[in-house]
Structure 1
Amino acid sequence: MEVVTVALSLRWRVAVAFGLASLVVTGLLGFATWNLASSYMLAQREQSATRQAAVNVRLVGESLRSGSDGLAELLTGLAGDPESTIALSRSDGWITVGRQVDPATLPHELIMLAEDGVPARQRIITDGVPVLAVALPVATTATTATYVELFPLLELDRTFRFLSAVLITGAAISALLGLGMGYWAARRALRPLVELTDAAGRVARGDLQARLPEQPDPDLAPLAATFNRTASALEQRVRRDARFASDVSHELRSPLTTMVNAVEVLHRRRTDMPTAARQAVDLLSADVGRFQRMVVDLLEISRTDQDVDDRALEAVDVADLVRNIAASRPEHPPTEVHAQPALVLADRRRLDRVVTNLLDNGERHGGGVLRLAVLRRSGRVRLEIDDAGPGVPPELREQVFERFARGQRAGDRGDSTGSGLGLALVAQHIDRHGGAVWVEERPGGGARFVVELPELQESPEEGLTGQLSSR
């Protein structure tokens, strides 16, 4: 049988530790308080009962010595409390007044001590009632008598129960307060760590401007400063690399245009060339074409590394855009588009590039596009592109969206291999628009590329605000 263990978070571990510590401290304090209070009150009650019994036994002794006939009335008057019991043992038997108790139920050792002239007391329970039994010898000259008085302890027992209930409740409340204070303290103490995790996550998602706020705590200030310096250095490095790629791409456009024109001239005259020269021209034409696409993609990526310009965002009907792109392609892939508009807030040029790159990927690497569908699900616009290829292995389904990642064809050359930047552009464009893109297995075999974007429900201005805040 498999045992599943659930690990508590650090915040809850600290809270539980505070709660347990509070419970232990208040529990020990309550236990000590209960012991001291109960011992003190019980000792006071025993002393009071012993003094009262001593006074009563002197009165009984005087009555016995005088031979008065009012002994029963005297005992009744001495009992006072109806819950009390007075029992007097003489040679002719027991006399009992007050709450009736069978003398045979009294502790034998207690009676024997009193008969031997030794005062004794003992806490006992008679008929379910806790009492303090005080046994004293009666000093007489003619007869031998033993005086026993039972003092009820009901009020004292109720006091003990109330005190114990109060102390237990106080310990439980203290544990809950300790748990709450521990959770609050842990939350306060871990707030910088939460901010650090959030900032690091934003950096990992591409927000290179994420920074930690300045910390007044001298123990946390170096951490925040170090993270901010690291993030600033990373941002500068990425922007420097993007600017370098952009500058290089711009500088390459002019010589690349010359090369493309020269290759076109050579390609038009390839019929007049020897076989070896024609093969060289074909290879040169394929590589120059691939080089041209790579430069264009690098320029696009350098622009994509910047934030989306809000002024370029508009309400775009994805269904209409997909229909137009599909109709303009020679192969004209089959499309499934609903009649109702599927509106998203997007940069139309970038979204057009997303669809085009996915179609190019399916045609070059997926054996052709079998299906192109636009769906609406739970406030999201979903674009599905199915191809007839072998599919993408699970271990490569995230890697294919990285720059210059061409999967199992990474070492191939030729026009059909692509630059390895098309799907990276798709991922960047969709991420900048608050959407998601992934690849999964198509039912029946092959790959299915899925793009989801938030559907535009409100006016473009309201949707812009909501979409930008969700990034």
Structure 2
Amino acid sequence: MAWFSLVSLVVAGVLALATWHLSTGYMLDQRERSAIRQAKGNARLVTQVLERGSAGLDELLTGLVAEVESAVLLVDQGDLIVGGNSVDPTRLPTAFLDMVRNGRPAHQRTVLNGIPVQAVGLPLPAKAATYVEVSPMREMDRTFRFLSWLLIGGTLVSGLAGAVLGRWAATHSLRPLRQVTDAAAEAARGDLSVRLPATGDPDLIPLAAAFNDTAERLQQRVARDTRFAGDVSHELRSPLTTMLNAMSVLHRRSAELPAGTRQAVELLNTDLRRFRRMVDDLLEISRGDQDQDYSTFELVDLAGLVQATGPTLPESVLDIEARPWVLADRRRLERVVANLLDNAGRHGGGLVRLGVLTREDRARIEVDDAGPGVPEEAREHIFERFARGSPARREATDSGAGLGLALVTQHVRRHHGHAWVEARPGGGARFVVELPEVTD
């Protein structure tokens, strides 16, 4: 757009300058020729009067001034005879007057009393006199001003038209690439079903085909991985349940075991429960990746759901600013809130605030913790699967598998919402879930 505008402005400017110089030069040349012809004719009349003895000279000069709306200066035997009231010819440049007095014809454009004029000086050698005629150029000056404003306006309009044309051309030519960018952004956000529409542009057909093929292969691979994770998790549940039952028996009789064996049983019990939690989360994720059924969605009072999910929370922690309604799967939304509360307790130093509010027709859940906060460079990473933070900041009692926040992101995206983490005013982290609010 900038180049279109610049080129259009330069071309229009060059054409305007050329038009200005050609038109003004032509008009000035024609006016100069006309003034010289008129002055020569008037000079012959003055010569004829002088040859008759100057009788009627004043009347002639007055008539000449009235006829051509000019001023005249006649120098006869050293006497100055001036006619006309518009300009004072005696104030003409000295060099111009000296040239005429020396017997050489001269013409010059100048300004007298703020009025542009055309001065023509002719020597009258037969009578040892000098005739000077000054013609105002007001109309031509107004014409030049009008022409200059017209050309300037045309140049600016041409530049604006070039910008508009450039914007249209850029928009039209970049629309396919913008579609590719939008599709790639959707795929990066997890929507692998996005495809580029068919296009008639032969340059973009290979690109669209390659993108759609890549997205199709990636979607199939993710689907296979998801099915594999779901199948493995499902197959692990039975032996894991058996091991947990056996471990519960050992745990109840741990007092009868030697100290070393008892410690090993405790460690094994902790890892088995962590393993059970990871298997349940993997099953939940795999079901969510494959589930496209929205029949379980219903109108949900978000504030009521949050209060029901955390019934043991003190009133000082709850901050219910509004009671928005959302269209949601109640079970999944309860899991979102539960995972955020669990994350605040395990990794955030404890829950500080659980808020429900609205912002511009969007319902929001805000979970504030008392931890050290999340570094800006890690705020996207912590929502990835199996992301558990740095080992230095991880507590020894942490039994999580790094899938809780990944489940939050998956469930919120299924509700056409968005989840992120930001810094809490006063320190700590604030996890935000934003969902479309039902206002009708």
In the superposition, the TM-score normalised over structure 1's length comes to: 0.81
Alignment match of 1:120 (pick from 78, 88, 106):
106
Alignment match of 1:225 (pick from 209, 230, 236):
209
Query: Is 1:423 matched with 2:409?
Result: no
Give the length in aligned residue pairs. Answer: 436
**Residues 342 and 374 of structure 1: CA distance in aligned 2, closer, same or farther (over 3 Å):** farther
The Cα shift of 1:322 comes to 3.5
1:326-359: CA deviation from partner (whole Å, max 9, x where unpaired): 34xxxx3324365975432210111122233334
**Residues 413 and 163 of structure 1: CA distance in aligned 2, closer, same or farther (over 3 Å):** closer
Distance, in Å, in 2 between the alignment partners of 1:299 and 1:114 is 110
For structure 2, the residue ranges without an aligned partner over 5 or more in a row are none
1:166 aligns with: 150
Q: 1:287 touches 1:415 (CA, 8 Å); kept in 2?
A: no
The Cα shift of 1:162 comes to 1.6
Alignment match of 1:347 (pick from 320, 329, 332):
329
Q: Match of 1:78, SS?
A: helix
Q: Match of 1:131, SS?
A: strand
Aligned residue identity for 1:79:
V
1:334 aligns with: 314
Alignment match of 2:358 (pick from 357, 363, 377):
377
The Cα shift of 1:203 comes to 1.2
**Residues 393 and 34 of structure 1: CA distance in aligned 2, closer, same or farther (over 3 Å):** closer
1:462 aligns with: none
Q: Match of 1:407, SS?
A: coil
Q: Match of 1:311, SS?
A: coil
Aligned residue identity for 2:358:
R
The Cα shift of 1:313 comes to 0.7
The Cα shift of 1:170 comes to 1.0
For structure 1, the residue ranges without an aligned partner over 5 or more in a row are 1-14, 459-471
1:252 aligns with: 236
Q: 1:209 touches 1:231 (CA, 8 Å); kept in 2?
A: yes
The Cα shift of 1:84 comes to 0.9
Q: Match of 1:197, SS?
A: helix
Distance, in Å, in 1 between the alignment partners of 2:327 and 2:388 is 31
1:309 aligns with: 293
The Cα shift of 1:47 comes to 1.4
Q: Match of 1:419, SS?
A: coil
2:6 aligns with: 20
Query: Is 1:50 matched with 2:36?
Result: yes
Q: 2:77 touches 2:129 (CA, 8 Å); kept in 1?
A: yes
The Cα shift of 1:376 comes to 2.3
**Residues 307 and 133 of structure 1: CA distance in aligned 2, closer, same or farther (over 3 Å):** farther
Distance, in Å, in 1 between the alignment partners of 2:290 and 2:78 is 115
Distance, in Å, in 2 between the alignment partners of 1:46 and 1:443 is 80
Tell me whether 338-347 or 244-253 shows the greater mean CA deviation: 338-347
Distance, in Å, in 2 between the alignment partners of 1:384 and 1:259 is 38
The Cα shift of 1:68 comes to 6.3
The Cα shift of 1:52 comes to 1.9
**Percent sequence identity over matched residues?**
56
Q: 2:89 touches 2:134 (CA, 8 Å); kept in 1?
A: no
Alignment match of 1:33 (pick from 19, 41, 51):
19
The Cα shift of 1:301 comes to 0.3
Aligned residue identity for 2:114:
G
**Residues 223 and 286 of structure 1: CA distance in aligned 2, closer, same or farther (over 3 Å):** same
Query: Is 1:451 matched with 2:433?
Result: yes
1:344-399: CA deviation from partner (whole Å, max 9, x where unpaired): 221011112223333444454556x55563422334444444556x4444254443
Alignment match of 1:213 (pick from 188, 197, 200):
197
Q: Match of 2:67, SS?
A: coil
**Residue pairs, 1:14-413, within 5 angstroms:** 15-67=1-53, 69-81=55-67, 83-91=69-77, 93-99=79-85, 104-138=90-124, 140=126, 143-267=127-251, 277-306=261-290, 309-327=293-311, 332-335=312-315, 336=318, 338=320, 341-365=323-347, 370=351, 373-378=354-359, 379-385=361-367, 390-394=371-375, 396-409=378-391
Distance, in Å, in 2 between the alignment partners of 1:119 and 1:443 is 89
1:170-224: CA deviation from partner (whole Å, max 9, x where unpaired): 1111111112222222222222232222112211211111222233222233322
Q: 2:339 touches 2:404 (CA, 8 Å); kept in 1?
A: yes
Distance, in Å, in 2 between the alignment partners of 1:92 and 1:357 is 113
**Residues 234 and 83 of structure 1: CA distance in aligned 2, closer, same or farther (over 3 Å):** same
**Residues 24 and 371 of structure 1: CA distance in aligned 2, closer, same or farther (over 3 Å):** closer
Tell me whether 115-124 or 419-428 shows the greater mean CA deviation: 115-124
1:66-111: CA deviation from partner (whole Å, max 9, x where unpaired): 3362232233333333631222221261223333765543344444
Q: Match of 2:295, SS?
A: helix
Distance, in Å, in 1 between the alignment partners of 2:62 and 2:373 is 103
Distance, in Å, in 2 between the alignment partners of 1:224 and 1:172 is 40
Distance, in Å, in 1 between the alignment partners of 2:424 and 2:136 is 87
The Cα shift of 1:298 comes to 0.8
Aligned residue identity for 1:303:
R
Distance, in Å, in 1 between the alignment partners of 2:100 and 2:394 is 114
1:296-334: CA deviation from partner (whole Å, max 9, x where unpaired): 11110011224653211111223333443434xxxx332
Tell me whether 176-185 or 407-416 shows the greater mean CA deviation: 407-416
Aligned residue identity for 1:376:
L
Q: 2:24 touches 2:144 (CA, 8 Å); kept in 1?
A: yes
**Residues 445 and 108 of structure 1: CA distance in aligned 2, closer, same or farther (over 3 Å):** closer
Distance, in Å, in 1 between the alignment partners of 2:89 and 2:382 is 98
Tell me whether 404-413 or 106-115 shows the greater mean CA deviation: 404-413
Distance, in Å, in 2 between the alignment partners of 1:64 and 1:226 is 99
**Residues 115 and 200 of structure 1: CA distance in aligned 2, closer, same or farther (over 3 Å):** same
